[in-house]
Amino acid sequence: MSGAVLLLICVLTPLCGSFLLPLAGRRNGRVRLALSLAFVGVSLLCSLLLLPGVLRGETASVRVALPLGLSFGLAADALAVFMAVTSTAVACVILVYSCGYMKEYENLNEFYMVVVLFLGAMMGLVYTTNLIAMYGCWEISSVCCWRLIGFYRDDDCVKRGEKAYLITVGGALVMLVGFIGIYAQTGTFEMTAMKGAKLPDWIVFAILAGILSKSATFPLDSWLPDAGVAPSPVTSLLHAAVLVKIGVYAYARLFGITFAVDSKFTVIVPAIAAVSALVSAGAALAANDIKRVIAYSTVSQLAFILLGVSAGNTVALEGGLLYILAHSVGKGGLFLCAGIVEHRLHTKDITKMGGLIRTMPLTAAAFLLCAASIMGIPPFCGYFAKFLVIDGIVRSGQTGLGIVFLIGAVMTILYLTRLFVKVFLGKPVCGPDAKEGTPCMVASVLVLGALSLLLGIFIHVPSVLALLAVR
């Protein structure tokens, strides 16, 4: 099968297939789940089939002519395949977890439709070569985010979903102005035709507005901790698989590979990331809501990723890409573990927990494995990624920023250790319902915990793809 066909299948299967899920759900819920896994699994399989060609230095592509002289293009280079495989693999685990977590809720037809559409938008965004198509997929993801955060439909959830939508869409509209400015300068929206083009500062700032809002970077981060009101599979999807990774991917694609920007942005953006890392880490240390602690952790860890992709150093960029992988797997596992705890205890307050390692040993083990990767403990994947980011930033002459992020790394160890101690150690304070989740829920978190360790032990495997992406 040709690379062009694989690309079309990879993008169109979840985008188009998502609209079949409500019809399937009316007949049989198991068929709906099977189709959801199949649509996302097909995208994962197609991305994996594109991998050998990418490793040989080949770039599969396809272009579709549109009216008015426009065109729609897809291309599979190392960066796109890296992001696609990471997102779809974690999403498959989340869907398996949802089989146990979501079975008691209503609106499941919409839930599975929106989740798969979300993944389809991600596939379209990472593989497209067209700025307007990127913007379109960007906005689809915002709509999906709005519906998923407001899944429970109570006033609080709806308001928080609307907040997330307004912040991310507002940033995207400013970014669109930047894209129009690029068109006015180059006469095209095709990224392949403008590689190396120098962008004016105002266009860079406009695009940054969209990137910072989507990646929940300070001061546009307040919507992400608020998204914790959504079901745990949703928060895991937002934090680990899709939404917030879109922003850092766009930065790597636009400013790391496609366009040339003024060197001052290799200082401005890392400085913004440093502030975001410290402020959110401090908030995580003070929070007592289990999902809110992990959400603030996401904001802090995304700052590490943004530092890596914005430092203007290939070593840091490689570390940033590897940390996208480490964070996707580890943070996905942490949110799913938190979901098991919340599901059994009916509370998110860590002051009302304790001693759960006795009744939830498998969940505790998975949480510890995922947390170790996020903390950057060797030999976990997160350790190698953080080392490369900090090493790269120091090599670029920004030692002060390196020290700031080392402080952030220490704070990560502190708040995740506090979280584990409060939830799983100490005297049991919970009732008889404090037991392991369903088999599919527990299996899902164990898989992500094991992957956090195995990806570190075999770090050379993802490193090959990350190195190709930065060249």
Token digits of residue 223: 């919507």
- What tens digit of pLDDT does each residue of 204-256 get? 999 999 998 888 888 888 888 888 778 888 888 887 767 778 888 899 888 88
Which DSSP category does 426 fall into? Answer: S
How far apart CA 411 and CA 280 sit, in angstroms, is 10
In degrees, to the nearest 5, what angle opens at C-alpha 156 toward C-alphas 331 and 346? 60
User: Cis omega before residue 432 (within 30°)?
Assistant: no
What distance in Å separates the CA atoms of residue 277 and residue 239, rounded to the nearest whole number? 15
Residue 462 has what pLDDT?
A: 87
pLDDT at position 1 over 70:
no
pLDDT, tens only, 374-416: 999 999 999 999 999 988 888 888 888 888 888 988 999 999 9
Question: How does strand 60-65 pair with strand 71-76?
Answer: antiparallel
Q: What is the per-residue burial (b if ≥16 Cβ within 10 Å, else e) of 328-345? A: bbbbbbbbbbbbbbbbbb
pTM of this prediction? 0.92
pLDDT at 97: 93
